[in-house]
Structure formats: structure tokens, C-alpha cells
Amino acid sequence: MSPRLNRADCCLLIVDVQTRLLPEMWEAQRVERNIRMLAQMARRLGIPIVVSEQNPAKLGTTCASIREAIGEFEACAKMRFSAWDAVQDQIDRPQILLCGLESHICVSQTALDALDAGKTVFAVYDAISSRQNPNRQVGWERMKGAGALPSSTEAALYELLGEAGTDDFRAMLSLVK
């Protein structure tokens, strides 16, 4: 398990950022902005993006701003809280950059299953939320305690870029400002 994100080894997994869920989340605007940045970065760098949706008939589809940032994709619909069963066939890389909703339910259960499957999970702290901050913290602590590596949106962006002065770096600067 490498403690360093590598664009050739990772995929971005976005868990359940849906129209009826996102507005109810703690710091929803910040979380939406950061997930959008991660999706734009992944798309620019050619990093695969995998998306799950919990019971989309009831909770809606992925939010429009996130869909726009990702581009064309087909979400993995699910009923289980962990997204792992629904998405694992689409993840052929050893590292997962993980973000989404809700920290203490679907995101943490997905992280635990991915870790059990031998994946290195980088949990993006400021791109994961729950309705209430205490529940967000419980999910975060659970993931970290199980072996997920903590990251933030900017930390992930810069680690995957690796260096300044490139076209990718210049394109990403506009996202973080």
C-alpha cells in the first residue's frame, strides 16, 4: 500500500451525491464545490470516475453540477448502503480517491469494503459529509481507524499534479482560487 496518490493507479469514487440528499448535508455548498473540483481534475488528468446512486427513484440522480463536471457517465444504482458491490467491477486500479454522502453510512461502509478488498482508500475529508457534523466525524474516524488515508481536495489535486508549470497545473489553479 503506497501512501502517495498516483494518477496512473487511482480512480475517483463519488458516492451518492444526489439531488434530494445534498441540500440536507452539513456544509453542502463546500462539499459540492470540492467534489466538483475533484471531478474536473480527474477528467482533465484521465483518471477514471465511478459514481454510485442510492435508490435513485426516491433520492434523485447525481446533482447537476457534479454531472456537468464529470461529463458522460453511467451511475451505478444501488440499494445496499455500501457502494462496493455496485461499483467494484468498474474499479480496476489499486487506489480509490473517495468522496460523497453520507460519511457515517454509505461512504464509510464503502471504504471498509474497499479496504477489505485490498484497495488503498484516500478519504477526502472536505468532500465527504453527513446531515449532522457529529455523524460526519464518526464516519471519518471509522474510516481512518480502519486504514483509509486522510486527504483534502487541495492536497489530492496537488499530489496528483506533482509539479508546477504544466498545462494541467495552470488549468487546476483556476479551480482552487
Query: The domain 10-176 belongs to what CATH superfamily?
Result: Isochorismatase-like (3.40.50.850)
* 3-state class percentages of the chain: helix first, strand second, coil last, to nearest 5: 50, 20, 30
Q: Which three cell numbers stand for residue 136?
A: 460526519
Q: Which three cell numbers stand for residue 157?
A: 489535486
Give, in degrees to the nearest 5, the angle at Cα 27 between 77 and 136. Answer: 65
Rounded Cα distance, 25 and 10, in Å: 27
Q: Which three cell numbers stand for residue 64?
A: 447537476
Q: Which three cell numbers stand for residue 173?
A: 489553479
Phi, psi for 75 (deg, rounded to 5): -70, 150
pLDDT at position 175 is 78
Q: Which three cell numbers stand for residue 88?
A: 467494484
Where exactly are the structural domains of the chain? 10-176
Instruction: Identify the DSSP state of 3.
Output: S
Rounded Cα distance, 34 and 124, in Å: 9
Going residue by residue through the chain, which has 177 residues, state the pLDDT in tens, using 9 for 90 and above. Answer: 678 999 999 999 999 999 999 999 999 999 999 999 999 999 999 999 999 999 999 999 999 999 999 999 999 999 999 999 999 999 999 999 999 999 999 999 999 999 999 999 999 999 999 999 999 999 999 999 999 999 999 999 999 999 998 988 988 888 777
Rounded Cα distance, 5 and 81, in Å: 26
Rounded Cα distance, 38 and 40, in Å: 6
pLDDT at position 1 is 65
Tell me if 26 sits within 8 A of 136, measured CB to CB: yes
pLDDT at position 176 is 78
